[in-house]
Structure 1
Amino acid sequence: MIDRFRVGVITSSHGIKGEAKVYPTSDDSNRLKKIKKVYADIKGVETVLDIETVRFQKNMALVKFKQFNTPEEIQALRNTDLFVDRDNATPLKKNENYIADLIGLDVTDEDGIILGKVTDVFPTGANHVMEVDMGEKKVLFPYISQCILDVNLEEGKIRVHVLDGLLDL
């Protein structure tokens, strides 16, 4: 399991006071308002950034970090990923997992036969979808209780029910 989760990416500077435009990568963009510090890899050095303020404009967060006060300082951070510790991540509900913990897990059917590995999990309109690399093809499994039977992080496996027609493509 990973220790840190990406919560955003700095895309550019905003205004003259050194605010950063941050594209939120978390499923709850308002979460940025609750975070006091983030981690960033700045020129190969892991750096703690203290968040002073967060406000939103359309789909972007405008973040003011205590360490930076000019647009030029922020512009130098373009495309920098922002991370939080697992301890500061959004708390999970019962039977929930962090997407980052699912990537790379083996996927087995109900009989224990390995189908492939999880390469991505992403939201759709109704539910999340899990992409599984099966070697010669990638298959999308709906991340719903009828399909995902068990997630065992300790064993590194997800047991699935293969819905009718799912593997026919």
Structure 2
Amino acid sequence: MLPASQPSTVLTPSSLPDDAVEVGRILDAWGVKGWVKILPHSSDPEALFSAKSWFLQAPDAKYRVGFTAFSGTVSLSVDEAKIHSDSVVAKFGGLDDRNAAEALRGARIFLPRSSFPAASKDEYYWVDLIGLDVVNREGVALGCVRDLMATGPQSVLCVEYTASQEDGTTAPAERMIPFVSAYVDAVDLAGKRITVDWQPDY
């Protein structure tokens, strides 16, 4: 658990919302007043800034060693979240010292999708693109979006497809398509499809 100096109301046992999306991870304490440093999973962390409370779960296996702050799902109120340098930092209500912040290192951050701010025209949240089918202008299926990758000022679609091998078998493969207007013609969220100006042999 958190140090005894912290109020018991800091971590509130909770249930994960049905539409919960993992949006980041707590990297470490930041400063000495209970702030934490966040690694967002998206290049646009606007949802983190607008939410008044976050849901946390224990780290995945890679970061779980020594983690004892809590088990299950908890929620915390967020006093402030902001961009600092190239990362995001946040202050939770009632979390006022570095030791308490360090205890949360590795925790996974979730938010309900319904709490995300509305995206601007021609802008999309990464979570809404994952799982969409990708086809080109000729109607050729190019695969399914499995992930997105930030590369400086733009994002790249990581599209998984099945490739034929020389021995006649098939194996999963991946193609990278820049998510920019020069290559992306249309995004149909309702139809779960992205149309692109791209060829299978690119």
TM-score, normalising length: structure 1: 0.76
Give me the CA root mean square deviation: 2.8
Q: How does 1:73-112 map to 2 (within 5 A)?
A: 73-112=100-139
Larger deviation, residues 8-17 vs 115-124: 8-17
Segments of 5+ residues of structure 1 without an aligned counterpart are none
Size of the aligned set, in residue pairs, is: 165
- Residue identity over aligned pairs, in percent, reads 28
> How much does 1:92 deviate?
0.7
1:39 to 2:75 alignment: no
Match of 1:51 in 2: 78
| Equivalent-residue separation in structure 2 for 1:62 and 1:44 (angstroms) | 23
Segments of 5+ residues of structure 2 without an aligned counterpart are 1-17, 59-69, 164-172
Match of 2:142 in 1: 115
Aligned CA distance change for structure 1 residues 79 and 147 (closer, same or farther; 3 Å) = same
| Equivalent-residue separation in structure 1 for 2:198 and 2:55 (angstroms) | 39
Match of 1:140 in 2: 176
Larger deviation, residues 24-33 vs 41-50: 24-33
**CA offsets per residue over residues 124-163 of structure 1, 9 Å max, x none?**
3453221212223321112223322222223322222215
> How much does 1:95 deviate?
2.9
TM-score, normalising length: structure 2: 0.66
Bigger radius of gyration:
2
Aligned CA distance change for structure 1 residues 120 and 62 (closer, same or farther; 3 Å) = closer
Opposite residue 149 of structure 1, the aligned amino acid is D
Match of 2:201 in 1: 167
Task: Tell me if structure 1 keeps the 8 A contact 2:50–2:117.
Answer: no
| Equivalent-residue separation in structure 2 for 1:60 and 1:128 (angstroms) | 17
Q: How does 1:3-82 map to 2 (within 5 A)?
A: 3-29=19-45, 32-42=48-58, 43-54=70-81, 57-82=84-109
Task: Tell me if structure 1 keeps the 8 A contact 2:50–2:116.
Answer: no
Task: Tell me if structure 2 keeps the 8 A contact 1:56–1:62.
Answer: yes
